[in-house]
Structure 1
């Protein structure tokens, strides 16, 4: 499973924004969480997932909103899984704690730790996830406007009309924001994370 620990950056000099971030997680995941976000201490909260694609959706949304150190832990969770995130235990939560501590000291404010005994390790997955976050952090406001419209199902022609720009301008935004590879990168990362969530020697996930 995937445990995520999130800590607000610079909370001593900023308003408490934990509830806003919890809303981002809940809206993005749309009922696909194993355990919902729950404040664990001060300006920190945790949640639990079992789907790699949903994990990426949520992590990318949090990283885009800025102001958060995000630690992703990959590993087992003690069963039966409790009703409360605060009561949950297991390797996924231990590694998420280690990851969020590291995340506070890196520019992306994101780190990932895989528990021992998995099919893939931290070094196999973390660099690609953090590189993707870095690329998205460099995306311009105009690039995000186009990305959001395309994600909502609009064509590039429709996006041009909605944005009030020419198709040629949309093509330039699409290229500059590197939107051509968004879906492919997301799918590839989800496959890697699923492998990392599989114990060594287990059958390949369906």
Structure 2
């Protein structure tokens, strides 16, 4: 399973962003195993079993500079409680270790997979590469990315933006949108394998 812990960056000098983040996650990830909740201060957690959803949450939260994001991979204690604040297990310990480390990393992301050190480091390094690529994207590139994410074609996006299809192609290339899309499925599979390794290492039990 995947526990994601997000801690707001420099929360003392800015407004509380947790409520907005929880609302966004409720809209985009409608059925997590345990819904995102504020756990303490300006921090929140959620529990997922789906590797694609885990990567999506990581990418959503790291899009801005507002969050340090830790992802813990492992088992959790069963039966699950009603709220994530009452949940526990190795994945939660891993997520705490990860978010503490994320606060000191340039990408503000860290992954912890328990005993599987090498697969975890490999997965973290590849997520880092994608995050670095995305950090260089211009506001115009993000604007196009958001339109294409709704299912629009590049021609439709060009019309919506009031620019030529050629300009859209140039913007997509500058934003590395194709590389971003192509990287996601392999990263999802890597996270899935890491989750399988953790489950195997624990004997399939919490």
TM-score clears 0.5: yes
1:136 alignment partner in structure 2 = 134
Displacement of 1:20 in angstroms is: 1.1
Cα separation, 2, equivalents of 1:177 and 1:57? 18
C-alpha contact (below 8 Å) 1:28/1:61 kept by paired residues: no
The CA distance in 2 between the partners of 1:111 and 1:48, in whole Å, is 16
CA distance in 1, matches of 2:88, 2:15: 30
Equivalent residue pairs, number: 200
CA contact (8 A) 1:95 1:113 kept: yes
After TM superposition, which residue ranges in structure 1, 4 or more long, deviate above 4 angstroms? none
Could you say what the CA RMSD is over the residues aligned between the two structures, in angstroms?
1.6
User: Unaligned stretches of 5+ in structure 2?
Assistant: 201-206
Aligned residues of 1:28 and 1:57 also touching (Cα < 8 A):
no
- When normalised by structure 1's length, the TM-score is 0.92
Name the counterpart of 1:113: 112
Say if 2:172 and 2:178, in contact at 8 Å, map to a contact too.
Answer: yes
CA deviations over 1:70-89 (Å, ceiling 9, x no partner): 00000001111111101111
* Matched residue SS, 1:197: helix
Cα drift, residue 199 of structure 1: 2.9
Find the partner of 1:197 among 184, 191, 195: 195
For 1:65 and 1:201, how far apart are their aligned partners in 2?
32
Report the CA distance between 1:66 and its aligned residue.
2.6
- C-alpha spacing 1:110/1:117, structure 2 compared with 1 (3 Å): closer
* TM-score normalised per structure 2: 0.92
User: 2: distance between equivalents of 1:115 and 1:27?
Assistant: 30
- Shift, 1:183, TM fit: 2.3
Describe the superposition over 1:50-83 as per-residue Cα deviations: whole angstroms up to 9, x where unpaired.
0011111111111113311100000001111111
Structure-to-structure mapping, 1:1-206, within 5 angstroms: 1-29=1-29, 31-116=30-115, 121-199=119-197, 202=200
* Gap regions ≥5 residues in structure 1: none
Q: Is the 8 A contact 2:75 2:199 kept in 1?
A: no
Shift of 1:121: 2.7
Cα deviation digits, residues 17-57 of structure 1 (max 9, x gap): 1111112222221x231101111111111110000111111
